[in-house]
Amino acid sequence: MLSYHLQYDDASGGSIWTELSGLSSNSLALTFTVTMSIQVGKVYRFRYRGLNAFGFGPFSDSLYLYAARVPTADSVVTIINEDTIVRISWTAPS
């Protein structure tokens, strides 16, 4: 293998693909971090293909990633024990 060519669609629904690595210069990296232009609530597609002595192979199936935030922590949980009943309550996060 000479290179792994990685692209993503920048939440375009697969209509516009952006080069991430492995096309303009060969890269054998097995990880890549996208830190710019990611928006919460959007779906991003990623795909890759390999390059060997005979050229590029076909692209992989797309991997879909939904950009979401880590949920906020719950408020204080209250536990009340009333004989044989245990009542647990909390306030829903915003």
Residues 6+ apart with CB under 8 A from 82: none
Number of structural domains (the chain) is 1
Nearest to 39 by CA among 10, 70, 7: 10
Token couple for 39: 């928006």
**Mean per-residue pLDDT, 35-49:** 92
Q: In this structure, is residue 50 part of a structural domain?
A: yes
Which region among 32-46, 48-62, 70-84 has the lowest average model confidence (pLDDT)? Answer: 70-84
Q: How many CB atoms lie within 10 A of CB 25?
A: 7
CATH number for position 26: 2.60.40
CA–CA separation, 26 and 61 (whole Å):
21
Provide the token pair at 16.
Answer: 């516009």
Question: In this structure, is residue 94 part of a structural domain?
Answer: no
Q: Domain for residue 20, yes or no?
A: yes
pTM above 0.85, yes or no: no
Could you list the residue range(s) of the whole structural domain that residue 13 is in? 3-89
Write out pLDDT tens, residues 43-71. Answer: 999 999 999 999 999 999 999 999 998 77
